[in-house]
Amino acid sequence: MNTLNYTNQPDFILMGLTDSKEIQLVLSVLFLLIYMVTVLGNLGMILIIRLDVQLHTPMYFFLTHLSFLDLSYSTVITPKTIENLLTSTKNISYRGCFTQMFFFVLLAGTECFLLSSMAYDRYVAICNPLHYSVVMSSKLCSALLTGSYVLGTVDSTVNMLCMGTLDFCNANVIHDFFCDTSPLIALSCSNTHDIELIIFVFAGSTLLLSLITISASYMSILSTILKINSTSGKKKAFSTCASHILAVTIYYGTMIFTHLKSNKSFSLGKDQVASVFYTIVIPMLNPLIYSLRNKEVKYAVIRVIKKRESSGQLR
């Protein structure tokens, strides 16, 4: 494989989402507001979980890192997108483009495996509650988290090495708002068949492995819930994993739609709408989903506020 040569490569031009100046201004304001909510929501979630002792459990340990991934995920894409919407120059350096793509794939892959770990945590909590504290030990939680980051890094590194072999034959106009594999492969003048196959296998394996884990966990959970006699018991069991089911459905739905198809078939319109959704909107939605549908988080916020107020009064 050829090594990446940053010095002799021209800048890429990100065409963005629209040519209309008015729509660009509207989108820049909208994306800025979404990014602000994303930062505040995810940082707030991390802070609340850190400050409230009652939330120091495996589920919220994973949720802290999900918030960190969402915050990082959004930061890799959104600020550059807003900059390009507000300026006439829409350049991104060759190094900057591949750096953005590397971290995007790393964070996306890591989030897939983290969501799998969270599904397994819900499986143990509902199907084996008496042994929950033993099974979901701090050692296992750390191992699952580390494994998620390692697998995400492997996926991203393979993707980077494959993409680094492409030639662009002086073509530098990317028909998208960020550097992703699909528009870059569509731009390349190289024979991309083998590279597409490798990337498809690794991306597909990431999605398939995580989806199998999530599906197996929830099939067992559903089987356990159906055996509960009381309606209130069923409702309580379901409520403990409802937020995670919603987050998984939204995230994987857009990821599968965008990535599990030929990269040469990348098109404007539907693909870009899906990309906007899972790169900019979903990182904002996750903390809202887990906080608005979770009484423990709401009560934790109240406890933290009261604690701060009481400590201020004591001073």
What is the set of domains in the chain, with CATH numbers?
A: 12-314 (1.20.1070.10)
Instruction: Name the region of 93 (left: φ>0; alpha: ψ -120 to 50; beta: rest).
Output: beta
Q: Does residue 264 have a pLDDT over 60?
A: no
Phi, psi of 5 (to 5 degrees): -115, 100
Beta-strand pair 12-14/173-174: parallel
Whether residue 254 contacts residue 282, with contact meaning beta carbons closer than 8 Å, is answered with: yes
pLDDT per residue as tens digits for the range 2-36: 444 444 567 898 888 888 888 889 999 999 999 99
Structure tokens at 155: 């996926």
> Per residue, what are the HEC states of 87-117?
CCCCEECHHHHHHHHHHHHHHHHHHHHHHHH
The pLDDT tens digits of the residues spanning 62-113 come to: 999 999 999 998 999 999 999 999 888 888 998 999 999 999 999 999 999 9
CB 114 within 8 A of CB 209: no
pLDDT at residue 258, rounded to an integer: 66
Instruction: State the pLDDT at residue 174.
Output: 87
Rounded to two decimals, what is the model's pTM?
0.87
Q: In what order do the strands lie in the sheet with 173-174?
A: 91-92, 12-14, 173-174
Count of beta carbons in the 10 Å neighbourhood of residue 235: 12
Q: Maximum Cα–Cα distance for the chain, whole Å?
A: 70
